[in-house]
Chain A
């Protein structure tokens, strides 16, 4: 289902992460977080990358694996009351595309931060040794 349309989904939480544009929104959200952190003047770039990683991981942990149930009442008498959002995704089907995406995204964020904190720019040839 796409958010904002009429649907017959019993628990919309299961389909939110498959909606149109949600992956892009998530990526842009992480990007926004990074830019906001970069604007704080007394953080150096490696520190900002570390902070992005930490805050992203903490936020995803809280929303996906810590909070249980749904913020709305579902018509199935509360089947998902004790399930985290991660467990609710796609009604418990494992390794669907959105689950893979959200498993891979922190890894990619880590690998990207490892490479990009060294200020390699694409246009100039200047680079700096890190440690």
Chain B
């Protein structure tokens, strides 16, 4: 061990040099104490302290830098790239018969008889399942509300945008669906798109059906979670994914404990018009400990004895489903959407639901209209049963027409027997989506001339994850009579024969 003894190292400094500089004795003595504080220090102490002091100085003078931004281009290369760049036109060139450029104009309300391009047609296109759009009671209630509250609320729920009608509607929806609490959103699309990212964050895992609608896809995109798609209504595929996840979890149990897992399904799928197998899903939920979010936009007011949706239809206990989300723009003929479930779950959305906190609340007259629609649904559940048989009728009819004919291979009917909205797809695609769409559009035009209003199912082609094949969507509502449905079915058949050959 090397020792340095410097007890006499500073002798000359103190006695001669410091005194000649004129420093006073006590300060000299203090300096002497400081310098002589450790006169017999091991060498490595001094070396270590020297290194530390140098390290401090180095840290003090180091530059701040960000980790990612390091571009390896020289100035000249940057200039060259900027000069080469040609801006793309704001509006890309497109053909004259693009659907966005030729749209049908509706005059008046889209009720049972709809005026399309000046011609009055029977409406087989709007989702007015229970006919509440034209219902006198609903209209009167809305008008009274309009006179009382005005039109808009001019504020989100947190800034004086909460009216008594909102609270009443939430209360009524919770009671109707037999859950603890409900929350209202002012835009149907934003309902599920706000609900998903409120619960599912980065690092969480979501298992979604491939046929999920666009709003669910946007909600998943906003959530930044890991998304795993399973084949449409294929419980074995879902179970395979869940098993893989279980194996992953066992490999890293600490991470698994903080990861949330969700299954998101729709009650009645808008893209394929069939129903999810809810009892099997509930079994999987309890086996693999995942939470179920059910999107019931199409099935609310349609399925179940009283219109409570797919849970009532299958007889599943509503408490087994963690969150039910629906929009009120279909059967209820209002605007907006709601989520219902346990208070513990729904309360979270009051601060975390982006569409709830940051959008203006639902106009009170629409909330009043929704309350009245709920009243009618509760008073007269027979209303729902009546058109149940309309669907069956329609389905049989369409099937009958298309099976008798040798052109039965021309179009196929997609959808469940009791689905209110069916899809008619081409059995054999011509190869290009454009030609398919054009053919279907000509069928729609043929029917429009004969006063049947149909529509093509529209998608954002580039944004959809699993783009469904082009189809005509036929909606059966309670206001259509049997003759209307016969007329529509025969018209579609003639159109298919004439155009599809």
Contact = CB atoms under 8 A, between A and B. Distances in A.
Contacts of B30: 122, 125
A107 B59 CA distance: 11
Interface string A100-122: 10011001101100110010101
Contact of B223 (A77, A82, A104): A77
Contacts of B40: 129, 131
B37 A93 contact: no
A94 B55 CA distance: 17
| Interface residue tally on A, bucketed by range | 20 to 34
A100 B65 contact: no
Contact of B66 (A73, A92, A129, A130): A92
B29 A127 contact: no
Contacts of B247: none
A116 to B, nearest CB: 10
A65 interface: no
Contacts of B151: none
B59 A78 contact: no
A29 to B, nearest CB: 21
A67 to B, nearest CB: 13
Interface string A54-90: 0000000000000000000100011101100000000
Chain A at the B interface: mostly helix, strand, loop or mixed?
loop
B462 interface: no
Residue with the greatest number of chain A CB neighbours at <10 A, chosen from B38, B55, B222: B38
A59 to B, nearest CB: 21
Nearest to B30: A122
Contacts of B289: none
A96 B64 CA distance: 5
Contacts, number: 69
A130 B67 contact: no
Residue with the greatest number of chain B CB neighbours at <10 A, chosen from A96, A100, A110: A100
B379 to A, nearest CB: 42
A111 B49 contact: yes
Nearest to B69: A93
Interface in B170-210: 197, 201-203
Contacts of B223: 77
A95 interface: yes
Contacts of B53: 111
B286 interface: no
A57 to B, nearest CB: 14
Given A92-B67, A95-B62, A130-B38, A77 B201 contact: yes
A108 B63 CA distance: 20
Interface string B45-63: 1000100110110011011
A18 to B, nearest CB: 13
A10 to B, nearest CB: 13
A40 to B, nearest CB: 25
A76 to B, nearest CB: 8
A78 B63 contact: no
Interface of A: 73, 77-79, 81-82, 92-96, 100, 103-104, 107-108, 110-111, 114-115, 118, 120, 122, 125, 127, 129-131
9 A-B pairs with the lowest CB-CB distances in the bound complex, closest first: A78-B201, A78-B202, A77-B224, A77-B201, A95-B62, A95-B64, A77-B202, A93-B66, A96-B64
